[in-house]
Amino acid sequence: MRLPVLWRGTSKMDRTQLTLESTLQSVDKAEAVALREARNAGFNSEELESIGMAVRECLVNAVVHGNRYNKKKHVHFDIERSEEAITVTVGDEGEGFDVNSLPDPTSPENLLRQSGRGILLIRAFMDEFDLHGRPGGGTEVRLVKRIPKS
């Protein structure tokens, strides 16, 4: 079965760039690439699980909340692996938003809400988190996980 993923850009040992359709199948593909690179970097199984969850949550946010499954909009995925860290950048083509406007998921009134925990989890699992507007519109998220010293 062919996944509805558009491949553009380059793929090298240390960097992969993908332009993905706004589908959940694209999320699966990008998560698999991130896990492959993290495994190659030497992360253990617990760290791989955390990286996978953070990357998946970020991509789902781009598809669902950013692009709203719009077939005309794409998700831009970039992963770089160096000797020091894995850096994942995810960009959508949506309207953008202010991360400071999100309700605190740990507040008592929000504890039973179904949504709102994604960014909290991403921040907890990754060493660095940066969310900003994307040139030309949309939101871009940059995640960094440093490779543990052996």
Note whether residue 7 is domain-resident: no
Q: Is residue 6 part of a domain?
A: no
Q: What pLDDT is attached to residue 14?
A: 86
pLDDT at 114: 61
At 3 the pLDDT is: 38
Asked, for residue 3, whether it belongs to a domain, the answer is no
Q: For residues 50 and 123, is the Cβ–Cβ distance under 8 A?
A: no
42 — alpha (psi -120 to 50), left (phi > 0) or beta?
left
- Which CATH number fits the domain that encloses residue 99? 3.30.565.10
Burial of residue 61, with CB atoms counted within 10 A of its CB: 0-12 exposed, 13-18 middle, 19 or more buried: buried
What is this structure's pTM? 0.84
Strand (E) or helix (H) holding 91: strand 85-91
10-residue mean pLDDT profile of the chain (150 residues): values are 40 79 97 96 96 97 96 97 96 83 63 70 95 92 92
pLDDT for 130 = 96
- Domain span holding position 27: 15-146
Split into its structural domains, the chain has a count of: 1
pLDDT score recorded for residue 9? 42
Please give the pLDDT value at position 46.
97
What's the confidence (pLDDT) of residue 7?
40
